[in-house]
Chains A and B, each alone.
Chain A
Amino acid sequence: MSNFITASIGKKFMMSVTGLFLMMFVLVHLSLNLMLIFDDSGDLFNMAAHFMATNPAIRIMEPVLALGFIVHIIWSLIITLQNMKARPVKFAKRDQKNASSWASRNMLILGSLILVFLVVHIMNFFWKMKVSGDPLLTHVHVMQGGTEVAMENAYALVASLFKGSMCYGVLYILGSVLLGLHMTHGFWSAFQTIGFNNTVWRKRLERIATCFAVIVAVGYSIIPLYFMLKF
């Protein structure tokens, strides 16, 4: 396995496996978040958040997830800078619109914008829940399996953000759409890079990628929209 990590395909392999891992996280995250819109009392979402905060398997996965993000981001910068160096003199006239999709050519731009969104997102929720705390998070008691369990009111934190500010709602919808666009290329590209592709699977993977991207973009957008329209 010598020099695998520095080889062009090795670096792409890192992008691919971290990308696949992050996409699985995005799906889990979405499925939990959707509980926000099915129970206006907030109990359902609070129970889900409590489960995620206390389950040992999730506790172990949290630093792995952070590592996944860090590797995906750092590797993307290294790869893009090296790729830019491969063409010292640029073409004066370039017509690429029919040859490749916009998203595929601008993954770094999409990724950078998603990173900006991610920082805002972490400051909005994760930081308040884990580090700084917030008066809105005062414990609530939820009946769970016959016993009353005390847990943080994560629902109040989310609901107040979207009810209180139109700007945040729009920002989160924008973030979801950018994430979806990133995945229109990222999804099938990840399979291509690990070698799981051929002429038959190409069409299938591209279609699944489109579906996946739509589910992510629409799924996440529904949540701020629900709070903006209903309250």
Chain B
Amino acid sequence: MADVILKKIYVKVWRQSSPSDKGRFETYEVENVSQGSSFLEMMDILNEKLVGEGKEPIAFDHDCREGICGMCSLYINGRPHGPDTEITTCQLHMRKFSEGETITVEPWRAGAFPVIKDLIVDRDAFEKILQSGGFVSVNTGGVPDGNAIPVSYEDAEEAMDAAACIGCGACVSACKNSSAMLFVSAKVSHLAKLPQGRVEAKKRARNMVAKMDELGFGGCTNTGACEVECPKAISISNIARLNREYLLAKISE
């Protein structure tokens, strides 16, 4: 099948030279983009052009470009990771856009995710939440014998589904309240469902929620936008579990 070429598209990008800069939108023309190319490849083409013109290229986060690392973070045409479902920005292709279209590209917007440059935001807040309890610190000993610790199939599946979170921050940007509840609930859930994680479950829920609040994320109002935009389709059932874990932890305090 012959490749479709977009003869001309317009990319309206957020430009901000430093964290203290006020920032503004700038619109660039990009010509002859194959619909088979990825969105980030289109951004690379645009940057090549900007460098050729002696201009500052657009800074954006990316790493594996395989949809598994959680590094890319663009807010495209009003949606995190762009107009497609269950993908990261690197997996978004230009076939989702049409000839002559103006594509608006913004960084994640949240008080807890300050812009470093252009489209790159500082997601250290997620690391700080993980450092406050997203781990197992009890001694679990050596590798146990097979089936020595029984884990039901359902629990193992739910734990794995929660562990699929790549910490990209799409949930925070999709949320009208900039809440990090989906992220925190995934991190709490994947450990809470397994015996090794159960030991510190209460402390973990308390500390991670306290840290999330302290860092300035908003509260959850259950709109469900996060699970729709999550590239890994993490369910908000995890948020119900986090609420449960947190309330039980608080009652026993």
Task: Report, as a range, how many residues of chain A touch the other chain.
Answer: 35 or more
Take A92-B106, A93-B104 as given contacts and tell me if A195 and B222 are in contact as well, using a CB distance cutoff of 8 Å.
no
Contact B247 A195 (CB under 8 A): yes
Task: Report, as a range, how many residues of chain B touch the other chain.
Answer: 35 or more
Q: How far is the CA of A183 from the CA of B212 in the complex (A)?
A: 28
Closest-CB distance, B245 to chain A (whole angstroms)? 8
Query: Contacting B243 at CB < 8 Å: which of A83, A92, A192?
Result: A192
Apart from A1-B250, A8-B220, A9-B220, list 8 A-B contacts with CB within 8 A: A7-B209, A12-B221, A79-B219, A85-B216, A91-B75, A95-B78, A101-B224, A193-B220
Q: How far is the CA of A116 from the CA of B222 in the complex (A)?
A: 25
Q: How far is the CA of A101 from the CA of B225 in the complex (A)?
A: 9
Minimal Cβ-Cβ distance residue in A for B76: A93
> Which A residues form the contact surface with B (CB < 8 A)?
1-4, 7-13, 79, 82-96, 98-101, 104-105, 107, 185, 188-189, 192-199, 202
Q: How far is the CA of A100 from the CA of B174 in the complex (A)?
A: 10
Contact A194 B243 (CB under 8 A): yes
Q: How far is the CA of A98 from the CA of B209 in the complex (A)?
A: 28
Query: Contacting B79 at CB < 8 Å: which of A79, A88, A95?
Result: A95
> Which B residues form the contact surface with A (CB < 8 A)?
14, 25, 75, 77-79, 83, 104, 106, 109-112, 173-174, 176-179, 209-210, 212-213, 216-225, 228-229, 235-237, 239-247, 250-251, 253
Q: How far is the CA of A188 from the CA of B178 in the complex (A)?
A: 21
Q: How far is the CA of A96 from the CA of B75 in the complex (A)?
A: 12
Contact A96 B111 (CB under 8 A): no
Contacts of B78 in A (CB 8 A): 91, 93-96
Contacts of B75 in A (CB 8 A): 91
Contacts of A2 in B (CB 8 A): 253
Contact A192 B222 (CB under 8 A): yes
